[in-house]
Amino acid sequence: MNRIEEALQKVEQMVQLANNSNDLAYFHYHRKRFKKMGESVTKLCPIGSTVLDIGSHYLHSSLLLHFLGYKVTCMDVGEFCNLPFIQERIAANHLTQIEENNLEKLSSLANEQNQYDLILFTEIFEHITFNPIGLWKRMHTIIKDQGTVYISTPNAFTLYAFFKTLYKLISFKGIGIDIPAIFSTVTYGHHWKEYSSREIKEYFSLLNDGFNVNIQQFCYKPDELGGSFKSKGRVGLIRLGNRLPFFKEALEVIVKVNKSHPFKVDIPQY
């Protein structure tokens, strides 16, 4: 058993002991993604590097990297930071935690510069609902020169998303997130905007010429066909798309930061 799998098993044991249904479901759904992230990070950054996990959620990624020997700072909104079992994990593993309720300003890190070798931004990109320029300027300040931003995010071009969008267009149902999804999901859960590889490259090229972006498609979700006919159809399309690189369900984005370049855009004014 390799060290990443060993560290992942330690996280899994902690999750099982907490016995929180949301925590358990999220971990098992994303387990393969956590493993891929660990494999990539250990290739990108030496053990002992400083890591900021923005959107640390249930601390699965933070704990994995902590067990691998990285110096991890966890950041999330108060609704997650203050959950009792999250506080127990922070205390038991002596992790540094930052509560930040406004990512647009990132004021909790206003006095930090050149602090982190790696910034984790996993499964957050698609949830941003504000103008992101200020966020990226602050992240550019706190990361070290030649540091790395690691992003994982859904691929907008899965076969399921393609056919769902096409169906909604030809049936005049609407475009974008469904109304029932808006009502049935907590605010931090909505995927307001999912991106294609081309869009992500354009996104960073408009911000700063010092962002060097490399993207790979991958898949990780459990390969189960249970549930309703609609659910089986969705999983079947995703499974078919995962056989083709362009349609794979997820994107791994590696951004290397050369801080000698200035930002090309300013935050728009009201």
In tens, the pLDDT along 129-161 reads 999 999 999 999 999 999 999 999 999 998 888
Q: Is the model's pLDDT at 229 over the cut of 80?
A: no
Residue 228 has a pLDDT of 66
Please give the sequence-ordered ranges of beta strands (E in DSSP) within the chain, or none if there are none.
50-54, 71-76, 96-99, 116-122, 143-154, 211-218, 250-257
Q: Are 149 and 255 spatial neighbours (Cβ–Cβ below 8 Å)?
A: yes
Q: Is the model's pLDDT at 50 over the cut of 70?
A: yes
Q: Is the model's pLDDT at 234 over the cut of 80?
A: no
With cut-offs at 50, 70 and 90, classify the pLDDT of residue 227: low
What is the rounded distance in angstroms from the CA atom of residue 155 to the CA atom of residue 244?
Answer: 12
Q: Is the model's pLDDT at 49 over the cut of 90?
A: yes
pTM recorded for the entire structure: 0.93
Residue 130, number of CB atoms within 10 A of its CB: 11
Give me the CATH topology for the region 3-154+197-222: Rossmann fold (3.40.50)
Residue 160 has a pLDDT of 87
User: Which tokens sit at 109?
Assistant: 């890190």
Q: Is the model's pLDDT at 1 over the cut of 80?
A: no
Residue 245 has a pLDDT of 84
In tens, the pLDDT along 87-136 reads 999 999 999 999 999 999 899 999 999 999 999 999 999 999 999 999 99
Residue 251 has a pLDDT of 97
Residue 221 has a pLDDT of 87
Mean pLDDT, to the nearest integer, of 10-36? 95
Mean pLDDT, to the nearest integer, of 165-174? 89
C-alpha closest to that of 65 among 91, 93, 86: 93
C-alpha closest to that of 192 among 132, 240, 102: 132
Q: Is the model's pLDDT at 22 over the cut of 70?
A: yes
Question: Among 187-191, 207-211, 253-257, which is the least confidently predicted range?
Answer: 187-191
With cut-offs at 50, 70 and 90, classify the pLDDT of residue 80: very high
Q: Is the model's pLDDT at 225 over the cut of 60?
A: no
Question: Which residues have C-beta within 8 Å of that of residue 57, sequence separation ≥ 6?
Answer: 26, 76, 80, 123
